[in-house]
Structure 1
Amino acid sequence: MKKPWIILSAFTLLLLGSVFTITPNATYAEESIPQERHKDKEHHHSFMDEADFKRLTNQGYTKKEILKAAHIAKFADKKIDDVLKTYKDNDSSWEKTAAHYGLDLKDLKKKCHEHKEKFLEEHKEDVIKNVAEYSGKTEAQIQSWLDKGVPLRFIVGGSAMAKASNKDLAELVKLKQAGQSFKDIKNSLNLDKEKMHTEMKVLMKMIKEDIKK
């Protein structure tokens, strides 16, 4: 059975705000939401095994390009290979590529956020439990931040950001409460993108595995 590992990577990128640089962890989208596979029938836009991923990287495409193409492919009901070709034919512009398929990047971003929020809320208890364990906080502390209006999405992304920057999550939450955006905080920390991506993958894997229990 092929492993839906790329789905987790996508969700991770959506949460990091990196999709289309307008940015869970997440490139291709709802597809970016961790979920169980059906054994009998697979949708070629929703999953990609490592062999296909390596095939595309061997063709010269970057990981980000492949994930973004998969995101567009999902909504355009096209093959990832076709979207990548269109991308190259359109001066490597994601805006032009999306427009070619009658899509708008802003609308895609909105849909990504909606699905991301839905996933987190549907599994809120598991998310809080794992974020608390990962960040060294108590579930009560996480809940208190939520009660004060700090978005669950920020707490998840902030946990990975805190770990990657050797900061305390509470410090980042205070910055958020003071009015700074996730992007502002991330930029101020001069984070290594790969390190943060790795931390987010670790956290999301914890959450995903707990949900499957």
Structure 2
Amino acid sequence: MSWTVKGFVLPLVLLCLWRLQGGAQACSCAPAHPQKAFCQADVVIKAKVVAGKDVDGFDEPITYDIKQTKMFKGPDKEIDAVYTPPSSSLCGVTLANGVEYLITGKLDSDGSLHVTLCDFIAPWEGMSSTQKKSLVQRYEMGCDCQITRCTSVPCGISSPAECLWTDWLIEKSVNGEQARHFACIKRSDGSCAWYRGASSPKKGFMDIEDP
């Protein structure tokens, strides 16, 4: 496979190590492959930001009014707003009016959608065609798999149900070839393997022949 960086870097918001005045770490989360973010999220939607609302106090979340255009995962109701902490030091997300995003996030007990810098949020137009198509079926096919991030050698997997994610090691980017063009798929024998392509995996990939 080719590990060459493609044309532009997708502005995924995956890694944030923000520090408050005085040096204390306030927001810290490891980068996640888009598939892992999909599997861990309560909600995955495509939505356009139509308005942002100012907060009344430091502890009050920012509200973004959105127009949902597609739901890939979530409740049987349309979501019209997302909530995020009021500053990046608290893992708050800044969204631009008029931009359509893929948004992953968590549902609160009242059914409201909350997002942070630790969630996968990306402008829809910047995503690869494989990523977009994987939201419908392929990512879900690998939710029982473990995607293990490799940042330095030696690294490896400890179980057949893992896929080794090497984008950072090879390309120094979490937005590399595996993030943009691969999904970790569970095969018929319970093992997991990287699969590339926009179409669903063929039977030959899913089935493992006996030696």
For the criterion TM > 0.5, the same-fold answer is no
Please identify which structure carries the higher helix content.
Answer: 1
- Report the TM-score, using the length of structure 1 for normalisation: 0.29
Please identify the structure whose Cα radius of gyration is greater.
Answer: 2
- Report the TM-score, using the length of structure 2 for normalisation: 0.29
